[in-house]
Structure 1
Amino acid sequence: MAKIRERNRELIIEVASKFFAEKGFAATKTIDIANSAGLPKANVYYYFKTKQNLYRSVLESITEPLLQASEPFYENDDPATALEEYIRAKIRISQTHPHASKVFASEIMHGAPHLPEDIAAQMQDQTKQMCERIQSWIDQDLMAAVPPQHLLFTIWASTQTYADFDWQISQITGKEKLDQEDYDQAADLIVKLVLSGCGIQVGTKEKETA
């Protein structure tokens, strides 16, 4: 029974992500989400109580992996390894959570009117810690003196574009949907550009043992 409930919750969140991404919070109707999920409208309210709670769950479905993506910053002393793992994690999020990523991006672009304060605080705290970590690498001469905030802005823009601007990418590539090779190539290029721009084309540990 618990597994059925969990599957239903995940299905509703997945379907809701698409509706919120395409129509926004105000224009999305709970009945449309229920119909698309093949479930009674009552089930949506059973699991989430309100549309606001469902929207929060959609945001949590993307913010949780975004928060987890920063773990390489604290697990690695080598900035090259940390940045590469972070970039690849961000690309995977765009690949596996495209609709929720759009919802999050739209929320931010509109001034975060529905973003819960606790989630906003977590994201801000994460960014602060990542910037401090980058600055520590700069202070240790492990990478070039780049503005930490702007480095993160660049990484966010280049990785999230693969979810937030999928229509444009589809038009340019001629593909209805990117395949794994496309995402791997994107990650490889972004890693190369970022590491090169930061003056760390190879890991500092590799340099020491070479």
Structure 2
Amino acid sequence: MTDGFVEAPAPRRRTRIQREKRDLILEAALEVFSANGFRGSTIDQIAEAAGMSKPNLLYYFRRKEDIHETLMQRLLDTWLAPLRELDDVGDPLTELSAYIRRKLEMARDFPRESRLFANEILQGAPRIMPLIEGELKTLVDEKAAVVKGWMRAGKIVRTDPYHLIFSIWATTQHYADFDVQVRAVLGPDRGGDGRFEDAARFLERLFLDGLKPS
């Protein structure tokens, strides 16, 4: 007690087992949400996918919304990591090439996360709009300023930096959100893991050749 005030107790740290249970629930929820969307998913489905009882799950998360919010925050942190690495000190074409490849690696390694994000956006982003208008917009504004700096320095041609970023998002995430279509159209000879390297080479040429100064 200090000056008549009682200090609030420090929050209790989760045990290893509690952390593992939460991770198990979130992994199961990712599978369920990415397949069914938020509205089509239930606590019962998530509990079944996690291999635990519904009361046990509710000990860790009180509502479906709490699970979804935690997943989306983790997803946004992961999804924005490649853009954060775009460095204004580096060579623009090298930096953009690395960004394209990192985004394709995410399409390859995190397809469920991409579908979960796409489902939320298609519904109007009712549960993550504060994240989009806050953290996401702030980061994109920052990197758009980097691209504008490259343009002013004559390192790349003048273009709209926001639509450049949108175009990279659209083309790279296509390989996650429409992977079934991509593999079916490419066929067995080209639809294997090599499709991501083929995509990287094509997108590098598409974007970087168009950005090189005359």
Per the TM superposition, whether the score is higher than 0.5 is: yes
Preserved contact between residue 143 and residue 200 of structure 1 (Cα < 8 Å): yes
Preserved contact between residue 183 and residue 192 of structure 2 (Cα < 8 Å): no
State the TM-score, normalizing by the size of structure 2. Answer: 0.83
Percent identity, aligned pairs only, is: 30
State the one-letter code of the partner of 1:190: L
Matching of residues 2-41 of structure 1 within 5 Å: 2-41=15-54
Alpha-carbon deviation of 1:38? 1.4
**From 146, 165, 179, the counterpart of 1:133:** 146
Distance across 2 between alignment mates of 1:138 and 1:75: 12
Distance across 1 between alignment mates of 2:61 and 2:99: 32
State the TM-score, normalizing by the size of structure 1. Answer: 0.84
Distance across 1 between alignment mates of 2:116 and 2:133: 14
Preserved contact between residue 31 and residue 41 of structure 1 (Cα < 8 Å): yes
1:154 aligns with 2:159: no
Q: Which residue does 1:96 correspond to in 2?
A: 109
State the one-letter code of the partner of 1:79: P
Structure 2 vs 1, CA of residues 16 and 146 (structure 1 numbering), >3 Å: closer, same or farther? same
Matched residue count: 199
Alpha-carbon deviation of 1:8? 3.0
Q: Which residue does 2:198 correspond to in 1?
A: 185
Structure 1 moving runs of 4+ over 6 Å? none
Preserved contact between residue 84 and residue 139 of structure 2 (Cα < 8 Å): no
Distance across 1 between alignment mates of 2:201 and 2:60: 40
SS at match of 1:73: coil
Deviates more, 1:28-37 or 1:17-26: 17-26
Structure 2 vs 1, CA of residues 116 and 145 (structure 1 numbering), >3 Å: closer, same or farther? closer
Gaps in structure 1 of 5+ consecutive residues: 202-210
Deviates more, 1:40-49 or 1:82-91: 40-49
Alpha-carbon deviation of 1:42? 2.8
Alpha-carbon deviation of 1:114? 1.1
Root-mean-square deviation (Å): 2.2
